[in-house]
Amino acid sequence: MLGFQPPAIGEEEIAAVAETLRSGWLTTGPRAAELEGRMAEYLEAEHVLALASGTAALHLALVALGIGPGDEVITTPITWPATANVIVHTGATPVFVDVLEGDLNIDPALAAAAVTERTKAVLPVDLAGQPADLDPLLALGIPVVEDAAHAAESRYRGRKVGSIADVTCFSLYATKNIAAGEGGLISTNRDDVAQAVLDLRLMRRGDGSLYDIPVPGYKANLSDVLAAIALCQLDKVDRHTEIRHRQFAAYDEAVAELAGITPLARDDRDLHALHLYVVRVDAETAGATRDEYQRALAEENIATSIHFLPVHKLTYYRERFADQPPLPVAERAGDEVLSLPLSPAHSDDDIADVVAALRRVHERFAG
């Protein structure tokens, strides 16, 4: 089976972990601090804070902004459930609005129409590495918390993702472009948000016996062991981007010839992070449904994934927020999206194998 998104880990990461273990720093220490400093430079942001996960980053970002019971946060249904879950964790209500047909990112016009006196933030997602359309969201005058789990390398209209929104949250999960296995980052240019997150992530301020707690915080800090891996990945980010460019180009060339198989739109005004290669399978033209294509590719020993099923249709959200109106673009996309294998760990021959298998499956279904 050709894996969907295996991590691109080498001897450098193994050596960095061993060195960290020998240093005696297992929890947050000098490597986490180095990661924060280097990522602040990379993201062109005033502050970067390392956290235990991308989910923790999103959660603490909302808490730092004072969001809680009675508040509403506008977000997209085409995302991993964590994006909505953290809103619920604060006691606020997620308000799902539909997405754009081309890139499946949140529709700014619909987000604007959903604003009420209870709206305290907008939480867009940079799906697959394509930045959401941030300027009209920022123009609403409401804090924007950007879920950039897929978008560490992205630029929006020439500006680095991580330096634009009030708060931007990244993931260091095993499949991400900068991977540590687990972990997350918050970037912000707001001093008040940075200080709030510092107080929230580790449950104490001060050293040794002279500690205090200004707020009842969480345990959401990043260990030095994981930070050491992320630092090695940051060193490789340009090299890995070159590999992803080749993989995207190979897929673009292939699917252009396959009726009913269409990649998500990429805006040439922006820099796409090339995190996921997502296609939509139009069952009528492609001759079979997305699920049938996924099963057929598995029979060809090609692992794929789905990014994403609409969150508002998942059991908890469907039952808890039963008055959620239909979101037709997202719901149709949820039946069509399929992500093809993509990783710097894959060789060009691996991607050629995927293309050959996809062509065979398409020939079988579409004739």
The predicted model gives 47-64 an average pLDDT of 98
Q: pLDDT, tens digit, for every residue of 287-344?
A: 999 999 999 999 999 999 999 999 999 999 999 999 999 999 999 999 999 999 999 9
Per-residue model confidence (pLDDT) at position 298: 98
Question: Residues 123, 305, 273, 41: is their CA dihedral positive or negative?
Answer: positive
The overall pTM is greater than 0.75: yes
Q: Name the 3-class secondary structure at 127.
A: helix
Residue 213 confidence (pLDDT): 87
Query: Among all chains, which residue has been given the structure tokens 């249904």?
Result: 77
Given a cut of 80, whether residue 203 has pLDDT beyond it is no
Please report the pLDDT score of residue 28 as a whole number: 95
Q: Which helix (H) or strand (E) holds 91?
A: none
pLDDT-above-70 percentage for the chain: 99
- Alpha-carbon dihedral 71, 74, 80, 81, rounded to 10 degrees: 30
Q: What is the CA radius of gyration of the chain?
A: 21
Phi (first) and psi of residue 360, to 5 degrees: -65, -45
Q: What is the pLDDT of residue 212?
A: 86
Give strand ranges (E) for the chain.
47-51, 72-75, 93-96, 119-123, 145-147, 155-156, 159-160, 167-171, 184-188, 205-207, 210-212, 261-263, 277-281, 337-340
> Considering the domain 237-366 in this protein, what is its CATH number?
3.90.1150.10
Closest C-alpha to 241, from 153, 131, 329: 153
Q: How far is CA 289 from CA 51, 341, 350, in A?
A: 39, 19, 24
Kindly give the pairing relationship between strand 119-123 and strand 72-75.
parallel
Q: What is the pLDDT of residues 259-287, one digit of tens each?
A: 999 999 999 999 999 999 999 999 999 99
Q: Which residues are catalytic?
A: 176
What was the pLDDT predicted at 266? 98
Q: Each residue of 146-194: pLDDT tens digit?
A: 999 999 999 999 999 999 999 999 999 999 999 999 999 999 999 999 9
CATH 3.40.640.10 applies to domain 11-235? yes
- The reported pLDDT for the residue numbered 141 is 98
In the chain, the amino acid numbered 193 is V
The mean pLDDT value of the chain amounts to 97
Is the pLDDT at 209 greater than 80? The verdict is no
Alpha-carbon distance of 333 to 155, in angstroms, equals 25
Q: Band of the pLDDT at 251, cuts 50, 70, 90?
A: very high
pLDDT at residue 205 is higher than 80 = no
Helix, strand, or coil (residue 233)? helix
Domain ranges within the chain, ordered by starting residue: 11-235, 237-366
Indicate if 237-366 has the same CATH topology as 11-235.
no
Residue 250: pLDDT band (50, 70, 90) is very high
